[in-house]
Amino acid sequence: MNISMYQASAPRFANMLNNLAGILDKAAAHAEAKKIDPQVLLASRLYPDMFALARQVQIACDNAKGAVARLAGVEVPKHEDTERTFDELKARIAKTVAFVNSIRPAQVDGSENRDIRLKLGKREVDWKGLQYLLGFALPNFYFHVMTAYAILRHNGVELGKQDYIGNP
């Protein structure tokens, strides 16, 4: 059985982003119930040299929209990194999911050998589509979603594996 590039990317990104939105809902409810300033959670990080929760969510969104756009051969939408509340982060997630869902399977399928070039810091990296998706885009995306989950779990938000995995 073959799996299409579309099925390996767009639905997976959208599903996990929707799960992340649900996780943020639980975080907001936790902050309200425990009388915690939401900014404390949004600024929390696992370690001083890691990004805070809000940035983890922004990067997860950037990875999803960027990967699907590159695989589809369309321009990557630009999102300003101005979100400072749970509602604003959820709006960014919704905007990202809407973009991901706007890409049709025919735009992504067959992109296994598409040339993908990314600027990472001071260097440029070249991949073929399949290598990019499986070796960079998906692992990077999941890293940031999982880090957001871990930040909130570490801060006492009652989350479980099902919140992360959702209904695949």
By the 8 A CB rule, do 20 and 61 touch? no
The CATH number linked to 18 is 1.20.120.450
Residue 166 domain flag? no
For residue 73, the SS3 value is coil
Residue 21 and residue 14 in contact, taking contact as beta carbons nearer than 8 Å: no
Model pLDDT for residues 112-152, shown as the tens digit of each residue:
999 999 998 999 999 999 999 999 999 999 999 999 999 99
73-83 pLDDT tens trace: 999 999 999 99
The total number of structural domains in the chain stands at 1
Average pLDDT score over residue span 159-167: 93
Q: What is the pLDDT of residue 1?
A: 59
Characterize the bridge pairing of strands 115-120 and 123-128: antiparallel
By three-state DSSP, how is residue 114 classified? coil
Q: For residue 4, tell me if it sits in a domain.
A: no
Residue 105 has a pLDDT of: 98
pLDDT for the residue 64: 98
**Which residue range forms the structural domain that includes residue 47?**
10-155
What pLDDT, in 10s, does the model give residues 101-114?
999 999 999 999 99
pLDDT at 168: 60
Cβ atoms of 152 and 53 within 8 Å: the answer is: yes
In a domain? residue 30:
yes
Full-model pTM? 0.96
- The CB-based long-range contact list for 27-31 (8 Å cut-off, 24+ gap) reads 27/86, 27/152, 27/157, 28/86, 28/87, 30/152, 30/156, 30/157, 30/158, 31/86
